[in-house]
Structure 1
Amino acid sequence: MAEDALRNGDGTGGVDTGGEGVAAQPSGSVLVSIGALLLGMLLAALDQTIVSTALPTIVSDLGGLEHLSWVVTAYLLASTAATPLWGKLGDQYGRKKLFQTAIAIFLVGSALCGAAQDMGQLIAFRALQGLGGGGLMVLSMAIVGDLVPPRERGRYQGLFGAVFGATSVLGPLLGGLFTQHLSWRWVFYVNLPVGVVALAVIAAVLHIPRRAARHVIDYLGTFLIAAVATCLVLVASLGGTTWGWGSPQIIGLIVLGVVLAGAFVSVERRAAEPVLPLKLFRVRTFTLSAVISFVIGFAMFGAMTYLPTFLQVVRGVSPTMSGVHMLPMVFGLLLSSTVSGQIVSRTGRWKVFPVAGTAVTTIGLLLLHQLDEHSSTAATSAYFFVFGLGLGLVMQVLVLIVQNAVAYEDLGVATSGATFFRSIGASFGVAVFGTVFASRLGDKLAGVLAGRPLPAGVNVDSLKADPRGIAGLPPTLRPAVLHAYASSITDVFLYAAPVAAVAFVLAWFLREDRLRASVTAPDGTETFASNPVQRSSYDEVCRALSLLGSRNGRREIYERITARAGYDLLPAASWLLLRTRKHGWTEPAVLTERSAVPLHVIIEAARQVEERGLAARRGPDLVLTERGAEVAERLAAARRESLAELLGDWWGPDRPTDLNRLVEELTGELCGSDAERPHAAARGAAVVR
């Protein structure tokens, strides 16, 4: 609370005031609801990382190594396509019911994935799971805006970002543990008890206002862009393996993709609320960032999908330990993304990070290509760490520079657009990595096994379908087959390195414009989530200003406000005047009981405002004098000006009315907490003349 800040100088400035459209719930109910939303977010976030270490075992059990990539891609494509629809439908028909529906779809998909009997079933059920997962993501973050006022949103939405950081670490470990000690099916079944709890709590506790916001939903545009992405991924995953590159099927998919892309462009030009406004591509920074985001998603998810296969099949480590071996990459990513975000926030300089990040990512891919069955654990960990370091350097900053490059009205769609391309890159990368791996493995196994006597039932196809067959090979043949597996996987990274190098070249063409202060607070959900982030421009600015306000919610903020207004008051005196202005009167003795500010601080503040004629006693209460009302008004104006400065060029003469409203709300919320509001409101808002 802001009162804590006055006491110890390092608290946050959050308060618990109602804002427009915010449900008036008891604080305990809000916290329980937030907890249930976090559980829903946890399910969707965990499902993006927990499956990777289980994939080798899934393939061995169900067969179909060449289709391994689709276990990941089906989820990514479905959640990416569904995300914008969930957001707008939630606005239009109420978020609570939609969120419950998303949980139900996700749980049904999870149960069916756990019960799948072949790879085709698992892929189909993963797509169903992805449809629900997209809703869990976007609706859980949107509901936070319904539950808490603007001043608090940065704090609570920061928790959702932390969930992604945590699942990046825990996902591979939990996937390995369940696979090794229970079954790979528990990777999906574990969602059921957690989801049921979230569903029950949401039904019983969550009460949010019904506010219908009408949208012209771009169903056709959403379908077309999903269809184009699916065609690209099908070409990448089936070309050269299931069908030849010159086959009628592949050529037909390419032609269909081009036709659908043309139709998408035509539809988006006329759509009232396009899913991806074409005007964004006229902004050079957005276009370059979109391409770089695509490459980062390509490299990150492609590697995260196939590195566990390398560790388990080639290195022979257990599923659990493969999760442990993945941690250096995750730590490198979290470390560099956090540090780069902090440096950008403090300095406003950002161009070095996409340049350095794409360069280090390229080096990391080349290092991963050097791995083989004889590589030491230390070398493997070091290469993983370098690769993660490169990804983290660029992921955080790409969102910031896109937000900085567009007008306020395009802020929401530009953010979701940048993260959309990362999602499509992830789907494409997993598919391309899978195609290269399957193609190289088939060729290399055929060369190794040609003319060799093999046990009954063992051949190239059986070894591709089930890596456990390697254990049944003659000892003289086993090392060559392991090397074929190792080199097939690491060749993937060699093919990916030129793609990352293209991103490195493009990064040099980014123009380093001065950052608005309001876009120097990146969100973990925008950085680590695999599917697009959907927030309106208003919600995005609200989140950023709230987070910045919390960071600045120390004692010093009252000093700056006071100085800006031209007074030499104690910080606590300014705080007291603002509270009194908001509530009409203040009883210092009661305020001491209801806040964490020490008694002597409040006494000194009260004495100063009385001695200077800014407030007068009316019984035990303080009320503002005419002069005090003027001072308090100037203090509030100074706070409004401070917030407006953070908005930069968005705060122009033609600024939208919702920005005015947001600044007014945040200004009022800084002045005092409704949780500590006097009970006897009828005592009025009198001013002593």
Structure 2
Amino acid sequence: MSRGGNAAPQELPPRTQLIATIGAILALALASIDVSVVGAAMPRIADELNGLGLYAWVGVSYAVAAAVVVPIAGKFGDMFGRKPVLLTGLAGFVVASWLCGFAQTMPQLVGFRGLAGLFGGILMANIFTMLADIYTPERRTQMQGVFFGVAGLSMVIGPPIGGLITDAWSWRWVFYVNVPLGLLAILAVVVGVPYVRSSASWRDIDFGGVVTLIAGVVPILIGLTLTGQGHAWTSPEVLALVIGGALMLVVFFLVETRKAANPLVPFPMFRQNQFAVMVVVAFFSAFAMMGVTFYVPLLYQGVLGVSATHSGTLLIPMTLGLMLVGPIAGKAMTAMTHYRYLAVFAMLAIVAGLWMLSTVGTHTGQVVPIVAMVLIGVGIGIAFPMATAVVQSAIPMSQMGVGTSQIQFWRMFAGPVSLAILGSILTGQVGVRGQSGVFGGGGVSPEQLAGALHDVFLTSAIAVCVGLVATFFLKEVPLRDMSMAKKAAGKGHKGKTVTA
């Protein structure tokens, strides 16, 4: 079976399609569940490795490496085919997971988690794009919702699994269990995923873009992370990192638009209505999710007096909304002519949920925050798969990896931005007492904390309004009709598809 590099995919045999889907779901589950599983084991890890001072950097190293590699891996998937890039990510993730489990010191673990983040980013850049290789456009839109449902389920089950493994065996097995699952995913991908043989070579890689993108994004992400760890926005460390990174991104833009023959990020894509609107939607929906995930437990514990154990379970309404609504939203989008209204509803639900959280006080009770979490989960459950599905229907097949990975990149970039901005607001309100984590007594009173979190969630709601406004300007493209992509066949990378 062969097709041009820009053509819509042909239907694979059911058995092959099932195996490929299993491989993709296993890869997604590995990448999605890994962070939450490790988070549950981190207190034990920090205690055994004597590394409390580097506690946060275990997560930071993973997140920064994953975010910066996503655009690069997405481009490589377009150039060399999704299958070899995805297999590279899986193999590297398995090795990095074993190394993390073998770590003897906290600095080693930070380094190995950065390596795992690198390969995890490769997976996240190509998993959702791979759906375009194994499903027809109509089924692909529906499967986007299913896959985001899997990601939501991973968020729910990750912490209890991590705690169970840590208590029953050892924290090292939190990493070691990735090895057999990763090997199973590799086998499924080898057997089921079609291989796109491309004429591209290493000489076609935009090395200038790769270097300048890394030099720009990494300092900015680290600088934003520092603001959430007690550094002021005006501190020399933060200013040097953020300004230096911004200047390098200017150089990256010049390289991409004036020098690169095969740019890593085709900037004209941002002038396309569907792509630009969905980038905004992806960014602000992820901005909201990160803020809710990080600050709702604080709301429950510090304002409503809920125990730490119970407060973690109260995030479930949001993650269940993401898990259950995603597949339904995928089917609804293919059935609606004007799915722009669904996008408007999604962002409006997120704004409403954040506003409700901003009204919570010491005497509010738990009903209001739970309803708010459901609204936010429903909104995110629609917005996440819609952003990916619309972009994949609007861009040619030759840029599928670039477009899809850009959506993923802006979601990942939104996390540090959200925590930096919202963390600065919280710190500005409660001062140094709030950083000690002591509520009541000599620390921050529940009333003071409620006032600070009011500003945090209200700021989030106002920010997400930008995404809400953007949805009104979305120009719908058919999510099932890929005739334009078929007509453009052969204008992208030359190559043919060879089924596994």
TM-score with structure 2 setting the length: 0.76
Q: Pick from 198, 208, 213 the counterpart of residue 199 of structure 2.
A: 213
Query: Which piece of structure 1 moves more, 488-497 or 68-77?
Result: 488-497
Structure 1 distance, partners of 2:315, 2:57, is: 21
After TM superposition, the structure 1 = structure 2 runs for residues 12-27 of structure 1, keeping only pairs within 5 Å, are none
* Structure 2 counterpart of 1:128: 115
Structure 2 distance, partners of 1:151, 1:510, is: 22
Q: Pick from 647, 650, 655 the counterpart of residue 482 of structure 2.
A: 647
Q: Pick from 254, 257, 260 the counterpart of residue 269 of structure 1.
A: 257
Q: Max radius of gyration: which structure?
A: 1
After TM superposition, the structure 1 = structure 2 runs for residues 521-540 of structure 1, keeping only pairs within 5 Å, are none
Task: Work out whether 1:390 is the aligned partner of 2:379.
Answer: yes
Task: Work out whether 1:495 is the aligned partner of 2:445.
Answer: no
- C-alpha distance 360-99 of structure 1, shift in aligned 2 (>3 A): closer
Task: Work out whether 1:228 is the aligned partner of 2:219.
Answer: no
After TM superposition, the structure 1 = structure 2 runs for residues 343-358 of structure 1, keeping only pairs within 5 Å, are 343-358=332-347
Structure 1 distance, partners of 2:187, 2:330, is: 37
After TM superposition, the structure 1 = structure 2 runs for residues 320-359 of structure 1, keeping only pairs within 5 Å, are 321=310, 323-359=312-348
Quick one: which amino acid aligns to residue 245 of structure 2? G
| SS of residue in 2 equivalent to 1:211 | strand
| 1:12-42 residue CA offsets vs partner (Å, 9 max, x unmatched) | xxxxxx555999x998677556544543332
Structure 1 distance, partners of 2:146, 2:456, is: 37
Say if 1:49 and 1:172, in contact at 8 Å, map to a contact too: yes
- C-alpha distance 411-185 of structure 1, shift in aligned 2 (>3 A): closer
Q: Pick from 204, 223, 226 the counterpart of residue 238 of structure 1.
A: 226
Structure 2 distance, partners of 1:371, 1:122, is: 39
| SS of residue in 2 equivalent to 1:303 | helix
Quick one: which amino acid aligns to residue 267 of structure 2? L
| 1:439-464 residue CA offsets vs partner (Å, 9 max, x unmatched) | 7666125xxxxxxxxxxxxxx8xxx4
Q: Pick from 461, 466, 488 the counterpart of residue 656 of structure 1.
A: 488
Quick one: which amino acid aligns to residue 234 of structure 1? I
Say if 1:268 and 1:277, in contact at 8 Å, map to a contact too: yes
* Structure 1 counterpart of 2:66: 79
Structure 2 distance, partners of 1:200, 1:505, is: 43
Structure 2 distance, partners of 1:208, 1:111, is: 28
Task: Work out whether 1:108 is the aligned partner of 2:95.
Answer: yes
* Structure 2 counterpart of 1:585: none
Quick one: which amino acid aligns to residue 224 of structure 1? T
Quick one: which amino acid aligns to residue 295 of structure 1? F
Q: C-alpha root-mean-square deviation of aligned residues, in Å?
A: 4.6
| SS of residue in 2 equivalent to 1:508 | helix
| SS of residue in 1 equivalent to 2:371 | helix
| SS of residue in 1 equivalent to 2:37 | coil
Structure 1, unmatched stretches of 5+, are 1-17, 446-459, 471-477, 520-544, 546-645, 660-664, 666-689
Query: Which piece of structure 1 moves more, 346-355 or 504-513?
Result: 504-513
Structure 1 distance, partners of 2:404, 2:476, is: 15
Structure 2 distance, partners of 1:436, 1:108, is: 40
Quick one: which amino acid aligns to residue 289 of structure 1? M
Structure 1 distance, partners of 2:401, 2:188, is: 30
| SS of residue in 1 equivalent to 2:153 | helix
Structure 2 distance, partners of 1:256, 1:274, is: 22
Structure 2 distance, partners of 1:343, 1:27, is: 24
Task: Work out whether 1:174 is the aligned partner of 2:135.
Answer: no
Q: Pick from 165, 169, 179 the counterpart of residue 192 of structure 1.
A: 179
Say if 2:46 and 2:55, in contact at 8 Å, map to a contact too: yes
* Structure 2 counterpart of 1:504: 465
Quick one: which amino acid aligns to residue 317 of structure 2? P
Say if 1:358 and 1:503, in contact at 8 Å, map to a contact too: yes
Instruction: Report the Cα offset of residue 500 of structure 1.
Output: 3.7
Instruction: Report the Cα offset of residue 194 of structure 1.
Output: 1.9
Say if 2:70 and 2:405, in contact at 8 Å, map to a contact too: no
* Structure 2 counterpart of 1:253: 241
Say if 2:223 and 2:237, in contact at 8 Å, map to a contact too: no
Say if 2:49 and 2:104, in contact at 8 Å, map to a contact too: yes
- C-alpha distance 361-94 of structure 1, shift in aligned 2 (>3 A): closer
Structure 2 distance, partners of 1:240, 1:54, is: 22
Q: Pick from 290, 301, 314 the counterpart of residue 301 of structure 1.
A: 290
| SS of residue in 2 equivalent to 1:657 | coil
| SS of residue in 1 equivalent to 2:476 | coil
Say if 2:100 and 2:112, in contact at 8 Å, map to a contact too: yes
Instruction: Report the Cα offset of residue 369 of structure 1.
Output: 4.3
Structure 1 distance, partners of 2:171, 2:442, is: 25
Structure 2 distance, partners of 1:95, 1:505, is: 33
Structure 1 distance, partners of 2:390, 2:195, is: 34
- C-alpha distance 27-222 of structure 1, shift in aligned 2 (>3 A): same
| SS of residue in 2 equivalent to 1:367 | helix
Instruction: Report the Cα offset of residue 299 of structure 1.
Output: 2.0
Quick one: which amino acid aligns to residue 231 of structure 1? P
Structure 2 distance, partners of 1:312, 1:484, is: 12
* Structure 1 counterpart of 2:418: 429
Instruction: Report the Cα offset of residue 128 of structure 1.
Output: 1.0
Instruction: Report the Cα offset of residue 487 of structure 1.
Output: 6.1
| SS of residue in 1 equivalent to 2:197 | coil
Instruction: Report the Cα offset of residue 438 of structure 1.
Output: 6.5
Say if 1:69 and 1:430, in contact at 8 Å, map to a contact too: no
Quick one: which amino acid aligns to residue 469 of structure 2? W
Quick one: which amino acid aligns to residue 238 of structure 2? I
* Structure 2 counterpart of 1:662: none
Structure 1 distance, partners of 2:228, 2:75, is: 39
Say if 1:295 and 1:503, in contact at 8 Å, map to a contact too: yes
Quick one: which amino acid aligns to residue 104 of structure 1? A
| SS of residue in 2 equivalent to 1:214 | coil
- C-alpha distance 292-115 of structure 1, shift in aligned 2 (>3 A): same
Structure 2 distance, partners of 1:149, 1:382, is: 36
* Structure 2 counterpart of 1:601: none
- C-alpha distance 351-202 of structure 1, shift in aligned 2 (>3 A): closer
Structure 2 distance, partners of 1:365, 1:70, is: 29
Say if 1:268 and 1:274, in contact at 8 Å, map to a contact too: yes
Structure 2 distance, partners of 1:248, 1:384, is: 38
| SS of residue in 2 equivalent to 1:423 | helix
Instruction: Report the Cα offset of residue 99 of structure 1.
Output: 4.2
Structure 1 distance, partners of 2:115, 2:440, is: 40
Quick one: which amino acid aligns to residue 34 of structure 2? D
Percent same amino acid at aligned positions? Answer: 29
Say if 1:72 and 1:430, in contact at 8 Å, map to a contact too: no
Say if 2:32 and 2:151, in contact at 8 Å, map to a contact too: yes
Instruction: Report the Cα offset of residue 253 of structure 1.
Output: 1.9
Structure 1 distance, partners of 2:79, 2:237, is: 41
| 1:600-627 residue CA offsets vs partner (Å, 9 max, x unmatched) | xxxxxxxxxxxxxxxxxxxxxxxxxxxx
Say if 2:300 and 2:306, in contact at 8 Å, map to a contact too: yes
Say if 1:433 and 1:492, in contact at 8 Å, map to a contact too: no
| 1:575-617 residue CA offsets vs partner (Å, 9 max, x unmatched) | xxxxxxxxxxxxxxxxxxxxxxxxxxxxxxxxxxxxxxxxxxx
What number of residue pairs does the alignment pair up? 483
TM-score with structure 1 setting the length: 0.57
Structure 2 distance, partners of 1:64, 1:264, is: 36
Quick one: which amino acid aligns to residue 214 of structure 1? A
| 1:214-252 residue CA offsets vs partner (Å, 9 max, x unmatched) | 052223323333433323223322248554443333332
| SS of residue in 1 equivalent to 2:245 | helix
- C-alpha distance 317-55 of structure 1, shift in aligned 2 (>3 A): farther
Instruction: Report the Cα offset of residue 267 of structure 1.
Output: 0.9
